[in-house]
């Protein structure tokens, strides 16, 4: 004689359900960790790109000053003595660096500048431009950007040598 249960229905046991939930949780944790890592990488890449462009701008501003001296009939190093400077796109010559300069400011149009008296928001970037004589016809230029991202310090430095090619 066989016993047939009237209420017997095929289904999942509690152990099977817990196992499936555990496996799904592990998969979701991995995906979430990947998403968090991707967001952090994007922030770092964005700031590195901005730092590179600001460093390149710093070198180009020194090149502009050299060329302006030439056009005015001055010695090519008239406004470019050895030292550490700050400068933005509105300046005709670099200014001596001091620790009170602070971070670059950003206008509503997205332009970066040093003038703290102008409206705008503080950016996370600080730029110092170093000039050093290499020889009579060349000098070394280094634009160094520093910033903090998630309380970690970062820096980017771009170096070049400018020549008296005239």
- Span 71-122, pLDDT tens digits: 999 988 888 999 999 998 888 899 998 877 788 999 888 899 987 777 788 8
Do residues 127 and 103 touch, judged by C-beta distance below 8 A? Answer: no
Would residue 11 count as lying in a domain? Answer: no
CB neighbour class for 30 (10 Å; exposed up to 12, middle 13-18, buried from 19): exposed
Would residue 146 count as lying in a domain? Answer: yes
Name the band, by pLDDT with cuts 50, 70 and 90, for residue 4.
low
pLDDT of the residue at 158: 96
Per the structure, the count of domains in the chain is 1
pLDDT of the residue at 13: 84
Would residue 6 count as lying in a domain? Answer: no
What's the whole-model pTM score? Answer: 0.78
Query: In the predicted model, is pLDDT for residue 12 greater than 80?
Result: no
Which has the closest alpha carbon to 101: 128, 121, 123? 128
> How many angstroms separate the Cα of 131 from the Cα of each of 18, 83, 163?
66, 5, 13
pLDDT of the residue at 102: 81
State the average pLDDT for the chain. 88
3-state class (DSSP) for residue 122: strand
Domain membership of residue 94 as a residue range: 17-163
In angstroms, the CA 32 to CA 38 distance is 10
Would residue 58 count as lying in a domain? Answer: yes
Would residue 3 count as lying in a domain? Answer: no
pLDDT of the residue at 139: 93
Phi, psi angles (nearest 5°) of residue 143: -105, 120
Would residue 53 count as lying in a domain? Answer: yes
């Amino acid at each position: 004689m066989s016993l047939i249960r009237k209420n017997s229905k095929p289904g999942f046991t509690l152990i099977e359900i817990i196992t499936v939930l555990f496996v799904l949780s592990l998969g979701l944790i991995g995906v979430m960790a990947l998403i968090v890592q991707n967001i952090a990488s994007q922030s770092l890449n964005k700031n590195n790109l901005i730092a590179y462009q600001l460093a390149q701008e710093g070198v180009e501003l020194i090149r502009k000053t050299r060329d302006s001296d030439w056009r005015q009939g001055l010695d090519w190093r008239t406004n470019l003595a050895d030292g550490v400077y700050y400068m933005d796109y509105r300046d005709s010559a670099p200014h001596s660096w001091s620790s009170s300069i602070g971070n670059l400011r950003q206008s509503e149009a997205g332009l970066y500048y040093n003038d703290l008296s102008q409206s705008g928001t503080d950016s996370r970037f600080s730029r110092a431009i170093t000039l050093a004589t290499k020889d009579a016809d060349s000098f070394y230029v280094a634009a160094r950007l520093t910033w903090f991202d998630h309380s970690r310090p970062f820096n980017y430095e771009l170096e070049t040598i400018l020549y008296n090619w005239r």
